[in-house]
Every structure is written in structure tokens, then in C-alpha cells.
Structure 1
């Protein structure tokens, strides 16, 4: 939590088709980035594989900026499913 501190991470992801059951997804999952793996935007991590790159930095007291790039593709047909996500976490 030292202002100016930062970190980087890399993560491999793979979720075969039917890894998560779309009909069982709830509202918390409907707004997650993994919904972009479905044309109808309604489910969780299914039929994807790739690498996630993430960076975090403490920008102010109790405030962390996070940036991630998921370089994903659909396993079944190779369709690009990549996305960028930026977030600010304020801890209290």
C-alpha cells in the first residue's frame, strides 16, 4: 500500500466448452468480462483460452489502479475474444 508501488502478473487461462454452465450464471456473473465470450453476453468462462497480462499500481492512499489485457480466443473456432479492463480499487 505504499504510494508508487506496483506489480505485474501473467496468467494462462483455458476454459473448455461447457466449463461453466451458462444457465446457472447469476447477475454477478452477467456483468463480468467473460460474458464477452458469448454472442448473447450471458454466461461465464466457456470456450476460451489465452493469456492475461495485468498491472497494478498504488496511486494514492488506499487507492489501487488496475489494468488488465486478456488476449483470449474461442477454442472452438479461433474467434478473437480479447479485451482490456481498467479498474480503480478504493479500500476503506
Structure 2
């Protein structure tokens, strides 16, 4: 009886976790692609960095960049100096 309970509980947990991850993936918003840096900087004044560990190699900046790998990948064309920060100011 104890073994049957353990098996049923295991299947229930696996099923509920798989359902939860499907719901999270479906609920995630699509990443917006901006036409140019002027549009991107209206929403993200410091630009968009691919990760938090990235340092700006281009010099002094006025704003701190927003960190988002998906947003950076969608707007990678705007990273002119290839320092993994798009449209930094």
C-alpha cells in the first residue's frame, strides 16, 4: 500500500510540474524588436545588456543598462561595438 501511494504521488508531481512549465512558457511575452536605438532608448535609457556580468568597453555611460538575454538577442543588430550591450548611453 505504501509503495502504491509513493508511485501515485510521484506521477502526480511529475505531471503537475510538466503542466506548470508549459503554462509558464505559454505565458511569457514575446520579445519586442526595435527599429533603432532611439526607439529602444525611450523604453530602456541605458540600453540592453545580454547579462549582468557584461562591462561596457566603450567608455563612460550615463545610464545603467537593462539586463535581458532575450531582449538583447532580438535587438542584437543595434550593438555596434559588439560589447554585448545594445544601444548603451
Range into which the TM-score falls when normalised by the shorter chain: under 0.3
Q: Provide the TM-score with structure 1 as the length reference.
A: 0.26
Greater Rg by CA: 2
